[in-house]
Amino acid sequence: MSILLQPPPVQDWLSDLLGAFQARTARIGIVGLGYVGLPLALRSAAVGFPVLGFDIDEEKVARLNDGRSDIEHIPSERVAAMRADGFEATADFARVGEADALILCVPTPLTRHREPDLSFVLRTMEALLPHLRPGQLISLESTTYPGTTAEELAPRIAGAGLVLGVEIFLVYSPEREDPGNGHFETASIPKVVGGHSLACRQAGVALYEQLVETVVPVSSTQAAEMTKLLENIHRAVNIGLVNEMKLVADRMGIDIFEVIDAAATKPFGFTPYYPGPGLGGHCIPIDPFYLTWKAREYGINTRFIELAGEINQFMREWVVVKLSEALNERGKSLKGSRVLVLGVAYKKNVDDMRESPSVEILERLVAKGVLADYSDPHVPRFPKLRQHRLEMTSVPLTAGSLARYDAVLLLTDHDRFDYELIRRHAALIVDTRGRFRRLDACVVSA
């Protein structure tokens, strides 16, 4: 008598994962606990998910486990509350298998030759691979060129012996954080999700719909990657346009800020963008070049994007020239002048210095022999940056300190600056943000 053996049932990894997301019992692993990863960890914990954070910076891991935040707009009280709810940070990537979802929030900068630098993403994947297991979702949130997820991550995961879309699931969902913007938070910003397969997208949507109010599924990881680039290229090109208009208006003796405000009264067909000393932040100065680089593979030259990049980059030099001209008109040379830079963060009311044009302008001034200092209430000490080393601390703004400088250069218009104090006591103000609007003989627009 023969006995027919039934094959063991095939585990339905997708159904298990969907159920864990819906029940909020899945453990969420956030890889990279900076300006993107930490808010996502806070949101995940706030809705009831157990959260495990990964970061290679052991000092940051220790601070977070002590309930301390190193990001100004995220209070330590929120980190301490998350820690009390069970959050743990670690630098031990051998614990990757404990997470049911792994969300990658690591930097994607440019190389010195303005080409994509995927080293952080690829090193992170290499650290994850030995510890991946069936039943996990991997989501890349770092901004990158279309094709990165499919061409770089998917083959590595498949090479580890895991079947994509069956055992393990891969999506791309670009981050949309805006540090310091009190009008939006992680929960209220719609989330674009593209999957490596339909099953992958289903898993990604199931996770993110627990975290945010609106999920926007798209057809592929490539479409999601391109969406992120379009968002930031739109801003870069329009800022490049208004910066060019600023150059023209300056030569014609026209206040470009007055013109923009007047144009903005049109109730349709116009969106106001404002000029400045150049682009900053982790996205807008970088993302367009990711698409420019990838487009060459298809024989396309992105001339419009590249021209906007050239104009925005030129604004740094323009500011230095305008400062030099303003000093010359007062009988002073740039070299040897004392100049106080106001604001080194890349935008107002934050401590984020990534790609800040203020940093490059400050370095240019120092290289030209300027006796330069800075004041920034959000950056008390100039931090160690990958490509910049300046040993400086923020100068407090007082009537006496302002009077010591030949010129004050406004680069980042923080609300915490006392602009009336600056107006009364600065010998010369060079204003790149339109905060003073030439209402005084000591003010020069740049």
Give CB contacts under 8 A, 24+ apart, made by 17-20: 17/100, 17/135, 17/136, 17/137, 17/169, 17/203, 17/206, 18/202, 18/203, 18/206, 20/100
Q: Give catalytic status of residue 283 as yes or no.
A: yes
Place of tokens 């104009």: 311
* Rounded to 5°, angle at Cα 30 from 29 and 32: 145
352: nearest Cα among 125, 212, 179, 153: 179
- Measured in degrees and rounded to the nearest 5, phi and psi for residue 405 equal -105, 145
Q: Name the active-site residue from 105, 200, 283, 442.
A: 283
Among 115, 170, 112, 107, residue whose Cα is nearest residue 143: 107
CB 249 within 8 A of CB 259: yes
In Å, the largest CA–CA distance within the chain is 110
CA–CA distance, 91 with 360 (Å, rounded to integer)? 32
Closest C-alpha among 193, 188, 184, 194 to residue 214: 188
Please name the amino acid found at residue 217. P
Q: Given the structure tokens 């004050």, which residue do they identify?
A: 408
In which region does residue 67 sit, left (phi positive, over 0), alpha (psi from -120 to 50) or beta (all else)?
A: left
Active site residues: 283
